[in-house]
Amino acid sequence: MSPVQVRPAALLGFDLMHLNKEEEKILNGEKGEGPAKAMELLVAIGKIYDADRLIPIESAQIAGVSYKTMGDAGLQFIQDFADLAKVKVEAMLNPAGMDLEEKNYESDDFRRKQAQLINAYRKLGIEMTCTCTPYLIGKRPEVRDHLAWSESSAVSFANSVLGARTNREGGPSALMAAIIGKTPNYGLHLKENRKPDIVYEVNAEVPHSLLGYLVGREIGEKIPYFKGLKPSEDDLKTLGAAMAATGSVAMYHVEGKTPEAGDFSTDELEKIKIESEDIEKIRDELRTNFEPDVIVIGCPHLSKNEMEDIGQRLKEKEKKNGPDLFVYTSRRVKEESNEAVAEIERFGKVISDTCMVVSPLEDNYNVAATNSGKAAAYLPRLANQEVIYADLKTLMEMIS
Ligand code: F3S
């Protein structure tokens, strides 16, 4: 018997969430064991969060792709599921634990199992995007699209910058939503839950990564509203990623910039001022006495503009003895950034399909320097690194 078990609908008590006839049939196993199991999880989540019904989604984005985070149990689960179901809507993958074009990996246990995991996701019908920035490779949702995305930085970007609607899904719930093509209607799918909780008045020119690092830590899972910022889209990507890492922020507003910022009054909200001294304290926390042995850039994966910026900074410079350099971006952006890739690869490597956190960086390095607030938050925990935060200019000076 398959390890994926189906429980009869009656045991789930789905009276708390309305299911239509078709959904009931799926839950009762009439459409197969895989869809029944997927429906069972969605119904359980709907019940926990008091959702009234399931709503159709435009796409799912699935995290939990690296063998480093999934392990053997996760690999087995996805392989079992791949025998039972296929996704019904556009579904994409987050970064894996290695570059998918890497050759000769069969002798290496980690890479062999990573390839098996990727193959199981492929069998489920999921696209091998392997990026945390799908919105930079043409997978850009429309305002009010409902989604089931699970990469926290992509969730934040989709909700805040694009005005789409997604909860911060786990890998399994995003996958089950992809199989059914629906998600429970609760949380950030409802307009009333998208209103801001606290206003941050930023009175200084600050790096968005450090601002996000600070605010995420303070605000937890609430929704911040920023005043005083003039961010580019890349700044917003960086800001949201850092807040999602040090806190659980899944949505934010920026006055005059993000699409729903004007929909809510902030008059009655608590106001907190952020001055440059607040940011300097964070910068001090992220110093260490060690020298970096690697520089990692691209958390979240870099945009074409960011790639070109790095390429320009390195143009006509000479490589000096210093740390190794890894730059992470999606495969598509890499392919579209040939000139920048050529400049960067005089100094280090441009890597796709993976990142510094979900690949086994710790096998070869101990001290990582980065300009990413999210990477600074995750690398100590998930890749056993001492971390140095530095801006891009300083990182470039370490190698050229
Ligand atoms: Fe992306 Fe990896 Fe950072 S998935 S957001 S580069 S931790």
Residues 6+ apart with CB under 8 A from 397: none
Residues 6+ apart with CB under 8 A from 228: 201, 202, 203, 255
- Looking at residue 131, what is its pLDDT? 98
Look at ligand 1, atom 5, and give the residue with the nearest C-alpha.
300
Confidence of residue 9 (pLDDT cuts 50, 70, 90): very low
Task: Indicate whether 265 pLDDT > 90.
Answer: yes
The SS3 of residue 89 is coil
Q: Are 251 and 168 in contact (CB under 8 A)?
A: no
Ligand 1 site residues (CB inside 6 A) read 94-95, 132, 151, 153, 241, 299-301, 328, 355, 357-358, 374-375, 378
Look at ligand 1, atom 3, and give the residue with the nearest C-alpha.
299
CA distance 85 to 80: 9
Q: Which helix (H) or strand (E) holds 64?
A: none
Task: Indicate whether 185 pLDDT > 90.
Answer: yes
- Looking at residue 3, what is its pLDDT? 42
Counting atoms of ligand 1 from 1, which one is nearest the CA of 378? 7
b/e burial code for range 82-96 (CB count within 10 A of at least 16 → b) = bebbebbbbbbbbbb
- Looking at residue 14, what is its pLDDT? 47
Alpha carbon of 95 to ligand 1 centroid (Å): 7
Confidence of residue 8 (pLDDT cuts 50, 70, 90): very low
- Looking at residue 10, what is its pLDDT? 47
Q: Are 368 and 361 in contact (CB under 8 A)?
A: yes
pTM over 0.85: yes
Look at ligand 1, atom 6, and give the residue with the nearest C-alpha.
299
**Residue 271 backbone dihedrals phi, psi, to 5 degrees:** -120, 130
Alpha carbon of 358 to ligand 1 centroid (Å): 8
Q: What is the mean pLDDT of residues 182-209?
A: 97
Q: Are 82 and 211 in contact (CB under 8 A)?
A: no
Output the six-digit token pair for 148.
């089931």
Q: What number of helices (H) and strands (E) belong to the chain? A: 15, 14
**Residue 135: DSSP 8-state:** G
Look at ligand 1, atom 7, and give the residue with the nearest C-alpha.
357
CA distance 246 to 248: 7
Q: pLDDT averaged over the chain?
A: 95
Confidence of residue 103 (pLDDT cuts 50, 70, 90): confident
- Looking at residue 379, what is its pLDDT? 98
- Looking at residue 102, what is its pLDDT? 82
- Looking at residue 1, what is its pLDDT? 35
Task: Give tens-digit pLDDT for 85-96.
Answer: 999 999 999 999
- Looking at residue 104, what is its pLDDT? 74
- Looking at residue 107, what is its pLDDT? 73
Domains, the chain, in order of start with CATH, read: 9-189 (3.30.499.10), 195-284 (3.40.1060.10), 288-399 (3.30.499.10)
Look at ligand 1, atom 2, and give the residue with the nearest C-alpha.
355
Alpha carbon of 173 to ligand 1 centroid (Å): 19
b/e burial code for range 337-368 (CB count within 10 A of at least 16 → b) = beebbebbeebbebbbbbbbbbbbbeeebebb
Ligand 1 mutation target, pool 153, 155, 297, most atoms within 8 A of CB? 153
Task: Indicate whether 83 pLDDT > 90.
Answer: yes
- Looking at residue 82, what is its pLDDT? 98
- Looking at residue 138, what is its pLDDT? 96
CA distance 296 to 18: 47
Output the six-digit token pair for 342.
């050529």
Q: List, in sequence order, every beta strand (DSSP E) within the chain.
A: 54-56, 59-62, 90-93, 147-149, 182-184, 198-202, 224-227, 253-254, 270-274, 294-302, 324-329, 349-351, 367-370, 386-389
Q: Are 196 and 264 in contact (CB under 8 A)?
A: yes
CA distance 335 to 353: 12
- Looking at residue 15, what is its pLDDT? 57
Task: Give tens-digit pLDDT for 274-298.
Answer: 999 999 999 999 988 899 999 999 9
Identify the sign of the CA torsion 133, 136, 138, 140. Answer: positive
Task: Give tens-digit pLDDT for 19-75.
Answer: 999 999 999 999 999 999 999 999 999 999 999 999 999 999 999 999 999 999 999
Look at ligand 1, atom 1, and give the residue with the nearest C-alpha.
300
Task: Give tens-digit pLDDT for 133-169.
Answer: 999 999 999 999 999 999 999 999 999 999 999 999 9
